[in-house]
Amino acid sequence: MAGMIGRLRSTVIDCPDPRALAGFYAELLGLPLVEESSDGNDWVVLGGPPGHQPRLAFQRAVDLRPPAWPDPERPQQLHLDVTVDDIETAEQAALALGARRLPGEGEGFRVYADPVGHPFCLCWD
């Protein structure tokens, strides 16, 4: 493999209300809002400055057609895996933030949707 072409800058999630969904993920992941990298309510960034990971950005998508897990007609588009120490405690906290359980789980993970409908997994070893 040749040298690196680039570095991950941000994972960007489309949503109708970037500030609200960023608030959900700020609480879920303990990431700070980066106001100087954000642009009002249309582009909101969590994490640190470019080059510092993890970094999540939320972009306004007025006509978002959210995924419908596990329907292949409306696929997940992207998802995040979130490592937790205690699945039961983490699940209750995520649900209290507005997440909802989705069908699907396996050895070491359970599937959820954020308040807008994007799937994510809570994972444990």
Report the CATH number that the domain containing residue 43 is assigned in CATH.
3.10.180.10
Q: What tokens does 19 get?
A: 């500030």
- Structural domains of the chain, count: 2
Q: How far apart are CA 96 and CA 71, in angstroms?
A: 25
For range 10-31, the mean pLDDT: 94
Enclosing domain of residue 114: 80-123
Task: State whether the Cα torsion 107-112-53-28 is positive or negative.
Answer: negative
For range 62-86, the mean pLDDT: 86
Q: Are strands 56-60 and 43-46 parallel, antiparallel or unpaired?
A: antiparallel
What confidence category does residue 93 fall into, taking pLDDT thresholds of 50, 70 and 90?
Answer: very high
**What are the pLDDT digits (tens) for 38-69?**
899 999 999 977 667 788 999 999 998 888 88
For range 18-38, the mean pLDDT: 94
Residue 54, preceding peptide bond in cis (omega within 30° of 0): yes
Does residue 71 form part of some domain?
A: no
Q: Mean pLDDT over all residues of the chain?
A: 88
Q: Is the per-residue pLDDT at 107 higher than 60?
A: yes
Does residue 17 form part of some domain?
A: yes
